[in-house]
Amino acid sequence: MGARIEAGVVVALADCRIARAWDDGVEIVEGSPRPRAFPRRLSTGLGVCLKRSGLTHTVVADGRTLRYPGDAICVRPPGCVWSCDPVDARFLSIDFEPRLLPEDAVFAPMSLLPSRAIAVAKVIHAVLDASDGMAREQALVELLASLSRHGLVRADELASTHGGAAAAVRARDRLAVDLAEELSLEQLAAEAGCSKYVLLRAFKRRWGITPHALRVCLRIEAARRLLARGHASVEVAAMTGFADQSHLGRHFKTIVGVTPAAYRNA
């Protein structure tokens, strides 16, 4: 785990695919299976890494030695100093800058979880979708909630339920107003009178659906009515708050079962 790297071993992010999102507050890395070592480094934000294959290897984090098995998730807390032995494995990781996390969050030391504990690929897909800010925020809130359930993070906002039930009702009413408006989860929560962490839990408990999912359903229902009246798909997308015709089409076919054009021409 020192500075010397064996021949044939790549270092850290060499030959990886790197993407950034959320005003560069998030970095996503996909690594191919080849011998790779990470010399000692500092994680300033929250990192979640899914190791998709490979043998068990050794990681040293803040003076602790961990055995990281294949097909497992590593959660790196902000401020963690770590390094690892060379390992031939595929991995997918996502890192969030501290500004995106609850201010009072307290994280457990680096921890390992089974690969099924967190839907890492689903989180990354939502974060990379620049066309839907609410989905992106919701993915991070749900990730933090999952970490909280596993005892890996504590924060007042993650534990509080104050005002959630009433806020869920107000939020549902607000979601139906001006479907073309770009509404963030944080804005929705503020208008409902609670934090976004409280709102998401209370909303799912009360309605069995997330705010974002309900917003999509409301938009699709409005789009269906407009298409039935003969409006063009591109026009309907703009009127109902979808980023573009493709964005509308993707959600419309998932929910309705046919494309907007097919529905319009029926």
Q: What pLDDT, in 10s, does the model give residues 199-255?
A: 999 999 999 999 999 999 999 999 999 999 999 999 999 999 999 999 999 999 999
46, pLDDT greater than 90: yes
In the predicted model, is pLDDT for residue 161 greater than 50? Answer: yes
For residues 33-40, average pLDDT: 93
Q: Flag whether pLDDT at 6 surpasses 90.
A: no
Question: What pLDDT score does 1 carry?
Answer: 46
2 confidence band (pLDDT: 50, 70, 90) = very low
pLDDT at site 4: 52
For domain 214-265, give the fold: Arc Repressor Mutant, subunit A (1.10.10)
Q: What percent of the chain has pLDDT over 70?
A: 98
Q: Would the pLDDT of 3 be above 60?
A: no
pTM (predicted TM-score): 0.87
Q: Which residues of 160-195 are buried (b: 16+ CB within 10 A; e: fewer)?
A: eeebbeebbebbbebbeeebeeebebebbbebbebb
Q: Give the per-residue pLDDT at 5.
A: 62
Q: For residue 130, name the pLDDT band (cuts at 50, 70, 90).
A: confident
| Mean pLDDT in residue range 142-157 | 94
Q: Where are the domains of the chain?
A: 10-133, 214-265
Using the predicted structure, report yes or no on whether residue 258 has a pLDDT greater than 50: yes
Of the candidate CATH numbers 3.40.630.30, 3.20.20.60, 2.60.120.10, 2.40.50.140, the domain formed by 10-133 belongs to 2.60.120.10
